[in-house]
Amino acid sequence: MGLKDVRVLQYERRGPDVELMVEQVVEDVRCPGCGGPAQVKERPVVRYVDLPVYGAPMRLAWRKHRMRCPQPGCPVRSWVLSDHRIAAKNCLLTTRAAKWATVQVGTGRTVSEVASELDCDWHTVNDAVTTYGRALLAADRKRLNRTSAIGLDETAFVKAGARNRKDYATTVADVDNHQIIDILPSRDYAEVAAWIDKQPPAWKGRIRFGALDMSDAYAAVYSVVLPNAAQVVDPFHAVALANRCLDDVRRRVQNEQLGHRGRRDDPLFQVRRLLVRGEERLGPEAAGRLVSLLELGDPGAEVAIAYRVKERLRDFYATADPDEARTLLEELKRHCLKRAMPPEIQKLGRTIRKWFDKLCNYHLAKVTNGPTEALNNLVKRIKRIGFGFRNFENYRIRALLYAGKPNWRVLGSIVVR
Ligand SMILES: [Zn+2]
């Protein structure tokens, strides 16, 4: 084991398994009640899952000491000696196996994979990862020292059992450093605001930008608890909204033209993937196909207009100069709000009008430039692992280990008793 005062008693092969038996070297054990000398009462053997050795699953058999107090009238009857270096209380993995499993799961392997490598139950691994993950996150105080721009994002969380009830959580991310700060079990204004409010003043003072989807609740959170942070609409959400508008127009026109939902041979069905792709990513052939499919299926050019609007919004983000970008968005807004525009585009125009300054703030902040999409991919992966957790706290810890960039070196010195 390489631990002081831990003795290896035997090393045994049992079929494919290897079992190591150990005990503590004990002398002069005192009663925790009266302080008098204690006696050994029993030597129960408890088995733990240990790290595999050369691919062979390993078990640790710990021959423990159950002590008793011989002092008449002492209220303490018996107790078992523990050693957190070997295994924490209530953990079925040895300490070294539990820390190893925490790193494995935290860096992306599934609990099932790790459980299979250790040849033990899924819950055994999950419990150990949750225990050590929680301890690591609590001890890793420097994790959030650099944050100057945060983002609030709504995340669905589906509980296992209970008819797959869907709850909503809020992901708080450091959008500059590309890291999940925390996940809160609510998307309500009051609870999210309370969480930010109770953060250390130094941390709050450093936040210069608050990114958001176009949600009133999150905008209110920033306005009230971080009034000095400039609010910035996340470009990812803005472009996604323009893409949804485009898709709504396409489906309506499809229905008006052909009287049914899109089928494989319909031009507006065939064109749907080309529409969401950025224009600069279309080769000459794909661009030609886009034009001819729209000519076939979109006689009123409504889909074409929605496509141009989406591309124009992308131009807004690609424009380097803040004044130029603002003028571009102003024109786009007016264009969308024209009475002759399809209703879906007018609605998008109203959204642009409502969030205009916060959309333009992107060019002042550039906080969510580039990393946003990668951050969103991370959030999506977390959303995927968010399925099937029985309790929110387990989900939170798994997500923070995975996307919170904990300092894994701190784990070595973590003690769970
Ligand atoms: Zn005693």
pLDDT tens digit sequence for 238-261: 999 999 999 999 999 999 988 888
Sheet with 78-80: strands ordered across: 39-42, 66-68, 78-80
Residue range 47-84, pLDDT digits in tens: 999 998 877 889 999 999 999 999 999 999 899 999 99
Region 267-274: what's the mean pLDDT?
89
Give the pLDDT of residue 398: 84
pLDDT at 369 over 50: no
Q: How far is the CA of 80 from the centre of ligand 1 (A)?
A: 14
Residue range 84-105, pLDDT digits in tens: 999 998 899 999 999 999 999 9
Taking CA atoms, 19 is separated from 56, 128, 142, in Å, by: 10, 20, 39
Q: How far is the CA of 34 from the centre of ligand 1 (A)?
A: 4
Mean model confidence pLDDT for the chain: 88
Q: How far is the CA of 83 from the centre of ligand 1 (A)?
A: 21
Give the pLDDT of residue 370: 44
Give the pLDDT of residue 367: 58
Q: How far is the CA of 78 from the centre of ligand 1 (A)?
A: 9
For residue 105, give the nearest of 82, 121, 80, 128 by alpha carbon: 128
Q: How far is the CA of 43 from the centre of ligand 1 (A)?
A: 19
DSSP-assigned states of every residue in 29-83? -B-TTT-PBPEEEE--EEEEEEEEETTEEEEEEEE--EEE---TT-S--EEE--B
Give the pLDDT of residue 161: 61
Residue range 30-45, pLDDT digits in tens: 999 999 999 999 999 9
Q: How far is the CA of 24 from the centre of ligand 1 (A)?
A: 21
Q: How far is the CA of 89 from the centre of ligand 1 (A)?
A: 22
Taking CA atoms, 376 is separated from 86, 154, 182, 370, 390, in Å, by: 40, 11, 15, 11, 24
pLDDT at 193 over 60: yes
pLDDT at 371 over 60: no
Q: How far is the CA of 45 from the centre of ligand 1 (A)?
A: 24
Q: How far is the CA of 61 from the centre of ligand 1 (A)?
A: 28
For every residue of 202-234, which 3-state class applies, written as one string?
HHHHHCCEEEECCCHHHHHHHHHHCCCCEEEEC
Q: How far is the CA of 64 from the centre of ligand 1 (A)?
A: 19
Residue range 121-143, pLDDT digits in tens: 999 999 999 999 999 998 887 77
